[in-house]
Amino acid sequence: MHIDRDVAPDYPLSWQARALTGLMRGTFKPAASLLMRHGLALDCAARIGELTRWVPLRPPEHVTITPTDLSACGGEWVRSAEGGDLDEGKVLLYFHGGGYFACSPGTHRSITWRLSAAARRPVLALDYRQGPVHKLADSLADALDAYRCLLERGHAAGDVILAGDSAGGHLTLATLLALRDRGAPLPGAAICLSPWADLTDFPRRANRWQDPMLSAGRIRWLARRWTSGLDPRDPLVSPVLGDFAGLPPMMIVTGSTEVLRDEARRVAVRAREAGVPVTYEEWPRMPHVFPLLADVLPEARHAFRHMAGFLDAVAAFRASGETAAA
C-alpha cells in the first residue's frame, strides 16, 4: 500500500448510513444550531457533557480500560486483545473531539478500542482540559505534556502515533506543529478524523446544506469564541495555515458531505507541498467523524481496516528507510 495517495472508497451506501444521516439531519443538526448561539447555553452543554463521564459505556469483553494519571490531566489506557497480543513498547495517543467543550475519553471508546486493535498497541486517550473554562493553549499544553510523559516512560518517539477526531484532529495537528517548532522528536505517524483545522473567521459554503450533522454558521460562531484575544491565523490556532515541513506521514479521513471537508483537503494539500506523505480518504456521504459510529455503521468498521493498512504501510516505509540507511 502506498502512503501518499487519495482514496474515495466505493462501498455501497448501507441502509444504516441512510437512516442515521436522515435522523441526524432532523434532530442533532437543528439542536446544535439552537445550542451554539449563546455563551450561557454553551456553559450548560459543557456541564451536561460532564455527566457523560458517569454513563457506563461498556466495551466488548476483549477490551480493558485502565484509568491513568500519567499526565496532569489524566485519561485512560485502552487495550483491545482482538487480533492478537499488543506491542506494549508502542502507544497511540488519542485526542477526543467535541468542539473543545464536550465529550471525554469515555464517549469515544468505540474509536479508541478499535484503534488499539488496528495499531496493535495500547491507546492512551487523553482527558485534556477544555472550554469554556480553559483555553486552546491549555488543551495544547496537556497534549504536549502527555507526549513528553510517554517519552519519559521509555517510549521511542517513532513508536508513538498521534490521532484525534474533529477538535481532537485540530489538537493533533497543533501538537505536531508545536513539537516540530520546539525541536522535539516527532511521532511516527498521525491520523486525523474529520479535523477542524481552520478557526479563521470565514463563511463555510461547501456542503453548507449537505452536511447532515454540523451547521456552518455555528462552527463559525464557536471558532470566534475560542479565538477571542488570539490571532486566528496563528498555525497553532488554525493548523491548516501552518508549514508542515518535516512532519511524519499522515492519514486524513473525512466524509464527502461534511462542512469541514474542504479544510481536511487543504491540510492534505499543504502537507504534500511540504513533502509529507498523506493518505487522504474521502468517504461518500459519510457524516462527521463517522468512525465513532462503528457499532452500527458498516462503513465505519471498514474505515478502521483502512487505518490498519495505513499504519502497516508506514511501518514498512520506516523499515525500508532504516535498511537503506544501514
Active site residue 302: no
Catalytic residue among 96, 155, 170, 288: 288
SS (H, E, C) the chain: CCCCEEECCCCCCCHHHHHHHHHHHHCHHHHHHHHCCCHHHHHHHHHHHHHHHHCCCCCCCCEEEEEECCCCCCEEEEEECCCCCCCCCCEEEEECCCCCCCCCHHHHHHHHHHHHHHHCCCEEEECCCCCCCCCHHHHHHHHHHHHHHHHHCCCCHHHEEEEEECHHHHHHHHHHHHHHHCCCCCCCEEEEECCCCCCCCCCCCCCCCCCCCCCHHHHHHHHHHHCCCCCCCCCCCCHHHCCCCCCCCEEEEEECCCCCHHHHHHHHHHHHHCCCCEEEEEECCCCCCHHHHCCCCHHHHHHHHHHHHHHHHHHHHHHHHHHHHC
Active site residue 288: yes
Q: How far apart are CA 31 and CA 27, in angstroms?
A: 6
Catalytic residue among 116, 194, 258, 282: 258
Catalytic residue among 166, 194, 215, 238: 166
Catalytic residue IDs: 166, 258, 288
